[in-house]
Amino acid sequence: MARRRQAIRSAAAVTAALAALGLPAGCGEGAPRPPLAPATGESGERGVDPLAYGGDDAALSARAAAGHSHVLYVRSPDGVRATARRVERFRGLVEAAARHGDVDPDVLEAIVFLESAGRPEVIAGDDPENASGLTQILAETGSNLLGMRIDLARSRALTRRYARERRRGRPGAAAAALRARRRADERFVPARALAATVRYLRLAREELGRDDLAVVSYHMGIGNLQGVLRAYGEDDVSYPRLYFDSTPLRHGGAWRRLAALSDESSTYWWRVLAAREIMRLHRREPERLADLDEAHNAKGSAEEVLHPPGDTKVFDDPGDVREAREDGELVALPPPARLFFRRDRRMGQLAGRLKASPALYHALRPEAVALAAYLGAGVQRISGERLPLVMTSAVRDRRYQELLIGINPEATSGFSVHTTGFAFDVLRRYRSPRQAMAFEFLLDRLQSLNLVAWVREPAAIHVAVSRDAKGLVPFTEG
């Protein structure tokens, strides 16, 4: 592995790119978005190919941060704003530690956000041998690599004492156990945990040659990341290039290694950038953060971030759907040979109760049709399975949605993106494991470009499509 330092697009450069683009972590309609990589389709049309690495690392990073921010909003302990307040308490210590290690303090703060949510006493599980403290350092890593003072036996005993005193309702004795544990185990001392994390990032940067790779390795491990780079065939690449240029069809060995980790390691850099943006919003745009928090938590995916209620046209009744089709706002679903999806025979099954034809609801926004066609063709190409997936639902109107609530417990009683024409559902029934793998890979890749927000439902995958998807070219192997 090359050890030389190179001129890199550092984390600070990505911050500047985000600011210049005006891109928050999760953009609604009308918010500026960075461009996607241009590509040419098989029939010569120009557009966008999600599997074609375009070389604009700042734009790709901004999109990936937005696409992967949802999990931070919905899983941060006590909510994203409470987590931001906790993390901010350590800003002074973060800046001091970052200054000594030539590390971007905003990135270090984002690591704190992701790893502990600003809780310096937290343990992954109940055994301090596991990741512990403000930056979640393993006992073995802390002792053997980072030179921390960790008396693991004593730390374990004091952890048990703390839990016992809390059960007995003795807060003073519990607090004394925590103070004693900090003396025995430096991972629970915030300043020392931060200093150790900076030491790790410096070691990783010397080994890997880049700041972004060093941060990725904090979660993935240096050896695992070196294995991915070897499979890719180059070690002098940015993480955006490594991630976006590795697919089942191109640099497949690198993609397989990333996919095999199955612990969110491959998206760690995007989530660090998302956490950094949340902290920026917390300090500078708290109202915007509150709005995003509400939108992310409204549904099981970020679909209301892509299409905020009130900012997106809703079709009220069959007449609205009919008029939208006549005006081109909605387009009929192409036949399976062009859409690469079969239509479920029950699609639009409630139309008769509205004195409409089921075929009226076999339509979507042009953007959603473009994305569905890309997705369906991609699944076929990657998996080799010719039998297409099944689309179970497309556009609805509000009256149709109200009828659906009575027979489908998964149907939302509030705002549904289906009623805007930007969402469709895909049956969770696959021809083979290869088809399931290809489908999930493409959904993840499209999410990393902030082109979709998707969620698993009991019987189907629900996919909400961004307006940016309109320029997708027909699927190519890129």
Q: Dump pLDDT digits (tens) for 91-111.
A: 999 999 999 989 999 999 999
Q: Give pLDDT, residue 43.
A: 41
Q: Give pLDDT, residue 157.
A: 98
Q: Give pLDDT, residue 56.
A: 87
Q: Give pLDDT, residue 18.
A: 31
Cα 350-356-360 angle, rounded to 5 deg: 90
**56 vs 358, residue with greater confidence:** 358
Segment 194-223, tens digit of pLDDT: 999 999 999 999 999 999 999 999 999 999
User: In the structure encoding, which two tokens stand for residue 313, read together?
Assistant: 């046209």
The answer, yes or no, to whether residue 477 has pLDDT greater than 60, is no
Q: Give pLDDT, residue 33.
A: 58
Strand-pair partners of 80: none
Architecture of the domain whose range is 1-120+189-297: Orthogonal Bundle (1.10)
Segment 227-268, tens digit of pLDDT: 999 999 998 999 999 999 999 999 999 999 999 997 789 999
SS (H, E, C) 183-235: HHEHHHCHHHHHHHHHHHHHHHHHHHCCHHHHHHHHHHCHHHHHHHHHHHCCC
What is the C-alpha separation between 17 and 430, in angstroms, rounded? 40
Segment 10-48, tens digit of pLDDT: 333 333 333 332 333 334 444 445 655 554 444 444 456
Q: Which helix (H) or strand (E) holds 455?
A: strand 452-456
What is the C-alpha separation between 447 and 68, in angstroms, rounded? 7
Mean local confidence (pLDDT), 450-476 = 86
Return mean pLDDT, the chain: 89
User: In the structure encoding, which two tokens stand for residue 71, read together?
Assistant: 């999990």
Segment 278-291, tens digit of pLDDT: 999 999 999 999 99
**Angle between helix 11-21 and 268-284 (nearest 10):** 60
The alpha helices in 233-267, defined as continuous H runs, are 239-244, 252-261
- Beta-carbon contacts of 407 under 8 Å, excluding residues fewer than 6 positions away, are 350
Q: Give pLDDT, residue 17.
A: 33
Q: How confident is the model at residue 3 (pLDDT cuts 50, 70, 90)?
A: very low
Segment 151-166, tens digit of pLDDT: 999 999 999 999 999 9
Q: Give pLDDT, residue 414.
A: 84
Strand-pair partners of 365: none
Mode of pairing for the β-strands spanning 389-393 and 341-343: parallel
The alpha carbons of the chain give a radius of gyration, in whole angstroms, of 24
CATH hierarchy code of domain 301-471? 3.30.1380
Residue carrying the six token digits 């900090």:
182
Tell me how far apart the 2 most distant CA atoms of the chain are, in Å.
Answer: 74
Helices (H) then strands (E): counts for the chain: 22, 9
Range in 136-140, 143-147, 471-475 the model is least confident about? 471-475
The answer, yes or no, to whether residue 400 has pLDDT greater than 50, is yes
SS (H, E, C) 332-401: ECCCHHHHCEEECCCCCCCHHHHCCCHHHHCEECHHHHHHHHHHHHHHHHHHCCCCCEEEEECCCCHHHH
Domain ranges of the chain: 1-120+189-297, 301-471
What is the C-alpha separation between 212 and 8, in angstroms, rounded? 9
Q: Can you point out the beta strands (E) in 16-151?
A: 38-40, 46-48
Q: Give pLDDT, residue 169.
A: 97
Range in 62-66, 190-194, 259-263, 313-317 the model is least confident about? 259-263
- Please indicate, yes or no, whether the overall pTM of this predicted structure exceeds 0.85: yes
